[in-house]
Amino acid sequence: MPRVMLITAYDGTNYNGSAYQPEATTVEGMLMRALKGLTGEDVELIGASRTDAGVHALSNLFVFDTGSTVPPDKFSYALNSMLPEDIRIMKSMEVDSSFHPRHCNTVKTYQYRIWNADVMLPVKRLYAWHCSFDLDIQRMQAAAHYLEGTHDFTSFCNTQTQTPDHVRTVCSVGVFREGQEVVIEVKGKGFLYNMVRIIAGTLAMIGRGKGEPEDIINMLEAKDRSAAGPTAPANGLCLMKYEFPDKEVSL
């Protein structure tokens, strides 16, 4: 059977995360329901990245096997007519039957947005964390540098994580301003539960003068969640894109 990949964008506000949960409304659940209506099949979706409740995505990947006669590149059009407006298939395509989005060499890019002004702009309230205190971008940039590379990120993951290996490689962490927004962009080969949100919360803490940039070194060495800063709210986080370095492809 052909294996089809769906490049999926969504507003995570109304969803209890991306991964399927039988008793909750999730992105994957909505995709499965639409696929059932389109093909009559109970497909097994494989998601590339599990996003938390309230987290958004411009490019999350889902693959499934199907015996349907629908051409792989037409699934996007058909599904978009059945899905709610806060979920869209940006592109659909056939991939190799052995392709697994979590078992290949990928680089993910996340952005975390902070609305840094006295008053929260209403249209931004679902897509940025409101921080009314001053943020020193240079301090945040200096701190971000220490997070780059391969480290044990135990201090930067939720204590409820079930993943035994906490070593991850962060390719880059950038901090910059776009008008009233402070944007934290993190690229890496894989992330732990809440890792990017804890990075964002920690950088914001240092940006407002609580701690020094060099404190990141001690946080990493501590391997203790209480050593790092707070977990930033989910709504400021967005999964931006996937890159496949071996294939020279970016999605």
pLDDT in tens, 143-194: 999 999 999 999 999 999 889 999 999 999 999 999 999 999 999 999 999 9
Contacts of 43 (CB under 8 A, 6+ apart): 32, 35, 36, 64, 65, 66
Instruction: Give the angle subtended at the CA of 166 by the CAs of 10 and 155, to the nearest 5°.
Output: 90
Of the candidates 12, 136, 4, the residue with the CA atom closest to the CA atom of residue 70: 4
Q: Which domains does the chain have, with CATH numbers?
A: 3-95 (3.30.70.580), 107-250 (3.30.70.660)
Amino acid identity, position 200: A
**Confidence band (pLDDT; 50, 70, 90) for 245?**
confident
Question: Catalytic: which of 11, 42, 52, 215?
Answer: 52
52 is catalytic: yes
Identify the weakest region by mean pLDDT among 93-102, 114-123, 198-207. Answer: 93-102
- At residue 251, the pLDDT reads 59
Structure tokens, 157: 């993951």
Neighbouring CB atoms inside 10 A of 214's CB total: 11
Judged on CB neighbours under 10 Å (0-12, 13-18, 19+), 138 is exposed
Residue corresponding to tokens 């930067």: 156
Alpha-carbon gap, residue 246 to 25, rounded angstroms? 35
pLDDT in tens, 40-79: 999 999 999 999 999 999 999 999 999 999 999 999 999 9
**Confidence band (pLDDT; 50, 70, 90) for 223?**
very high
Does 193 carry a binding-site annotation?
A: no
**Confidence band (pLDDT; 50, 70, 90) for 1?**
confident
- At residue 27, the pLDDT reads 98
- At residue 101, the pLDDT reads 87
Amino acid identity, position 45: L
Alpha-carbon gap, residue 149 to 191, rounded angstroms? 13
- At residue 105, the pLDDT reads 83
Alpha-carbon gap, residue 240 to 2, rounded angstroms? 27
Conformation bin of residue 17: beta by default, left when phi > 0, alpha when psi is -120 to 50: left
Tell me what percent of the residues of the chain surpass a pLDDT of 90. 90
Alpha-carbon gap, residue 27 to 14, rounded angstroms? 9
In eight-state DSSP terms, residue 232 is P
Structure tokens, 179: 């008008």
Compute CA distances 207 → 113, 223, 229, whole Å: 14, 22, 11
**Confidence band (pLDDT; 50, 70, 90) for 102?**
confident
> What average pLDDT does range 190-201 have in this prediction?
97
Amino acid identity, position 237: L
Residue corresponding to tokens 């020279």: 248
pLDDT of residue 249 exceeding 70: no
Alpha-carbon gap, residue 120 to 155, rounded angstroms? 30
Contacts of 245 (CB under 8 A, 6+ apart): 105, 106, 107
pTM of the model: 0.94
